[in-house]
Amino acid sequence: MKALISSDVRLLANLIQEGKVVVFPTETVYGIGASTKLEASCLRVYEIKGRPKDNPLIAHFHSIESVAGACALGEIGRKLLEKFSPGPLTLILPKKDKFLFPKDLDTLAVRIPRNPVIREWIELSGGPISAPSANLSGRPSLTKLTDVVRYFGETVDAIFQAEEPSFGIESTVVSLFGDRPTLLRPGSIESEELLTVIPDLLIPDSFSKKNTSIVPLSPGTKYKHYAPTAKVTLLSSEEFSFSLKTTIQLETNAWIGFSFEEIDSGGLKIATKEKSFGEYSRICSVSSNEDYASKLYAFFEVCDQMGMKDIFCEVPRPGKGEEGLRNRLEKAKES
């Protein structure tokens, strides 16, 4: 059955209450949502995206008070939400309401999305709304409505048409459960900012900018993630420029990064005109780490649609926006 595409907040809230599955945009990526109070609906989300059952979902709330009603928020949790929410921060908290999905866990992952229309929808639905990222498990998360329709237009009940994601990578995840606050997944809210509120935050070595080994800390991080079908290679700026100059003629190679000035504009023009999908060709120029993150997954999708075999990604710039982006690039190149 074809999914309804709608911006009608009340109608979409009613669908959630009836147990239906609705894809919606957040400021990070699209999510596949179902009522956190309805186990069967949440389980359908797992089926739709082929998600392993041991990987729990994030519950999306409309306010800090609604989070405090469902979980033991505590002083640090409240401070974090006051500073970074609504926004791309997920907290793992001890669960108070035992009926929320997943029932067999003592913890709940919570987040308050930034778009007020989405928050209004969550509130009208009776909230919270559980949602993993909208992608087939293992593939890059989706950030464009056209991609959502292509992948999920026949399998979900409705698609919420609202402002598209701008951050482009999934939320930062911090656990406040256990002995010490721990960063479980880097994202747009970076460890430096988190440390201003929680100086004792444990930042696993695997997320430090130099260390590239991956240690599974939360269930989701042990799975292959964010990877397109094309092979992803991460290159230093010098290697990136060199690969451009020497292999631009190869029509199954694609590049995303900052340093395009070194190839002659003739070559670049040919590459950008050969083929394109919407706003993207096999060359994607970015102006900052934030711009890079916001374009990355959509570019991966386009590369797969165009049949690219190799995607060359320039390393992020040192500094702001580097942490989450580098983590996603590292995960995309794992095979």
Task: Please give the residue ranges that form the binding site for ligand AMP (CB under 6 A).
Answer: 55-56, 58, 92, 105, 107-109, 132-133, 170, 173, 184-185, 218-221
The answer to the question of residue 133 lying near Mg ion (CB under 5 A) is yes
Stretch that binds Mg ion, among 111-119, 131-139, 148-156, 247-255 (CB under 5 A): 131-139
Task: Report which DSSP code applies to 202.
Answer: B
- We find the least distance from the C-beta atom of residue 170 to Mg ion, in angstroms, to be 6
Contact present, 136 and 151 (Cβ < 8 Å): yes
Q: Are 110 and 59 in contact (CB under 8 A)?
A: yes
Q: Is 26 one of the binding residues for Mg ion (CB under 5 A)? A: no
In the complex, minimum distance from the CB of residue 135 to Mg ion, in angstroms, rounded to a whole number? 6
User: Three-class SS of residue 26?
Assistant: coil
Tokens 């992803």 correspond to: 232
Residues 6+ positions from 25 with CB-CB distance below 8 Å = 31, 115, 118, 145, 160, 162, 163, 164, 165
30 is in an annotated binding site: no
Give residue 69's Cα distance to chain centre. Answer: 26
Residue 55, binding choice from ligand AMP, Mg ion, none, Cβ under 5 to 8 Å by partner class? ligand AMP
221 is in an annotated binding site: no
**Separation of alpha carbons 88 and 167, rounded Å:** 8
Closest residue by beta carbon to ligand AMP: 220
Three-class secondary structure of residue 232 per DSSP: strand
Nearer to Mg ion, 180 or 224 (CB): 224
Q: Which residues are annotated as a binding site for ATP?
A: 51, 55, 107, 133, 141, 185, 226
Binding residues (CB under 5 A) for Mg ion: these are 133
Annotated binding-site ranges: 28, 51, 55, 60, 107, 111, 131, 133, 141, 171, 185, 226
